[in-house]
Amino acid sequence: AKELGKNRLQLYTESLSIETFKLFSLESDLRKAILLEDFILHYQPRVNTLTGDVVAAEALIRWNHPLFGLISPAEFIPIAEESNLIDQISFWVIEQVCKVQRQLIQSGDNIVPVSVNLSAKTIMRADLIPTILNYLERYGIEPNLLEIEITENTMIKAEMAAISAIEKLKEIGIAISLDDFGTGYSSISYLKKFKVNYIKIDRSFITSMLVSQEDARIVESIHLLAKGFNLKVVAEGVETTEQLKRLKQLNCHYIQGYLFSKPIDEEQFLKIISNNSRL
């Protein structure tokens, strides 16, 4: 029995150590990356459904890893959240967005708001608002040029803190989007609790809207709800002209998706904004 126990322990530690090693090395790499600022932001335009005008953009982070190249946020944001590194990353993103806006202001370009995705941990920070105000002041950025996106998942984890943060952010003049709308457990009740400005219909519904009657009805219902609550709707992940056509019929205000543009690097983004071009 002792022998067996020993073997089991060996097996257990073996597999544990691989996982732990992977996590540990990524986590320690991530710490270095924060110091070295080994991240880049891509920007995905948000477009007026009817006119095709670029009305805003979403900042999406990528980790520029020295060995692995660009790592998707889906890979490292969860590690950052678990290891308490997320707040430093969030604040870095906010500062970069302010810097880019400053650049656009200085070149006299037609500027649009840029949104930043915030995790539950960051929303719960007492110094979130002062930090944001600090960056806005440092770079001379009007609050309406910054927007915040929070997911329903964030609301579950940080309900009270999120309610108060949303109220304060809106008071300052920063618009809020409820991201991945429809994927949570209590999407509708959140509309009552959180007075957001935009809801972003999750890509999964847009993807299957034309093949699933249920998903089509969900997208339709979300538009009715939004109208009732006086909210603007953004459809995420629009990839085809057929989807666009249907969304126009539903009077969807804004769309984001590969059909118009993938997330693009800063240089391309500056070009698009300075041309004030229609995509």
Q: CB nearer to Ca ion: give 29 or 201.
A: 201
**Could you say which residues in the range 56-85 bind ligand C2E, by CB under 6 A?**
60-61, 72-74, 77
- Rounded to a whole number of angstroms, the minimum distance from the CB of residue 237 to ligand C2E is 4
Q: Which pair of tokens denotes residue 5?
A: 């126990």
Q: Residue 117 interacts with Ca ion (CB under 5 A)?
A: yes
Cβ partners under 8 Å of residue 274, min gap 6:
104, 107, 109, 110
- How would you label 95-123 residue by residue, b for 16+ Cβ within 10 Å and e otherwise? bbbbbbbbebeeeebebbbbbbbbbbbbb
Q: Residue 187 interacts with ligand C2E (CB under 6 A)?
A: no
Instruction: Rule CB under 6 A: choose which of 179, 181, 199, 218 binds ligand C2E.
Output: 179
**Could you say which residues in the range 138-167 bind Ca ion, by CB under 5 A?**
149
Instruction: Rule CB under 6 A: choose which of 46, 190, 263, 273 binds ligand C2E.
Output: 263
Instruction: Rule CB under 6 A: choose which of 97, 226, 237, 253 binds ligand C2E.
Output: 237
Q: Residue 180 interacts with Ca ion (CB under 5 A)?
A: yes
Q: Residue 101 interacts with Ca ion (CB under 5 A)?
A: no
Q: CB nearer to Ca ion: give 29 or 152.
A: 152
Cβ atoms within 10 Å, residue 2:
6
* Residue 74 partner contact from Ca ion, ligand C2E, none using kind-dependent CB cut-offs of 5 to 8 Å: ligand C2E
Name the one residue in this structure whose structure tokens are 């692995």: 68
Instruction: Rule CB under 6 A: choose which of 44, 177, 187, 243 binds ligand C2E.
Output: 44
* Residue 44 partner contact from ligand C2E, Ca ion, none using kind-dependent CB cut-offs of 5 to 8 Å: ligand C2E
Q: Mask 199-238, x = binds Ca ion (CB under 5 A)?
A: -------------------------------------x--
Which residues here bind ligand C2E, judged by CB under 6 A? 44, 60-61, 72-74, 77, 93, 117-119, 149, 179-180, 203, 237-239, 256-258, 263
Which residues here bind Ca ion, judged by CB under 5 A? 117, 149, 179-180, 236
